Amino acid sequence: MEIKILFGSVASILTIFSFIPYLLDIFKKKTTPHSYTWLIWSILQTTGTVAVFTNHGGFGALGLGIGSLFCVSIFILSLRYGTKNIAPSDLFSLVGALAAIVIWIFTKNALYSVILISFIDFMGYIPTYRKGYEEPYSETVSLYFMNLLASILAIFALSEYSLTTVLYLAELFLANSTLVTLLLYRRRRI
């Protein structure tokens, strides 16, 4: 069990340190967070944290919880410092994020909610993928890179492994890996 605490602690520390450069870049006006993306991620990550924690995820949920607080903070900052180019897919993602919570409330089944939030979370990346493709220097790569590492460590920190506890963390790994690859590729091409 001690190794689980170590993985969860390192994932949490990575999560904290991943957001510091991003926050600094927001204030330097180097990074412009997409408000819908961060609102969607706030809702989804909070829902995912609760689902993983209540389904015996243990220390695997710790980094997610910390990430939720940062997502909410960045959403608030995005209202002032972010981009507001809203596309129809952004509204779809927001509605889906809210639907995940409603489904969990009515079905009392966290797995259904985790499946939906994993899908919608990936959809929530679409505005940032689009923006990152067009403006690859408008995002802080280290945030997404450290979060993909934190996701792997959080999976190792889980107390119990099930689709409910692993799926969302695996999706975060995939989504962050995709964004890091996209940003680095576009930066080399420009």
- Residue 83 three-state SS: strand
**pLDDT digit string (tens) for 4-41?**
999 999 999 999 999 999 999 999 988 888 888 888 88
Q: Specify the pLDDT at position 19.
A: 93
**pLDDT digit string (tens) for 38-75?**
888 898 899 889 988 998 888 889 999 999 999 999 99
**Phi/psi of residue 171, nearest 5 degrees:** -65, -40
pLDDT surpasses 80 at 165: yes
Tell me 30's DSSP state. S
Tell me the two tokens of residue 93.
Answer: 């993602």
Q: Specify the pLDDT at position 1.
A: 60
- In sign, the C-alpha dihedral spanning 96, 181, 35, 42 is positive
Mean pLDDT for 141-153 is 94
- In sign, the C-alpha dihedral spanning 25, 26, 31, 35 is positive
Q: Interior CA angle at 70 toward 164 and 122, to 5°?
A: 45
* Residues contacting 147, CB < 8 A, separation 6+: 14, 15, 18, 67, 172, 176
**pLDDT digit string (tens) for 85-128?**
777 777 877 787 788 778 878 888 888 888 988 988 887 788 78
pLDDT surpasses 70 at 155: yes
Mean pLDDT for 163-187 is 96
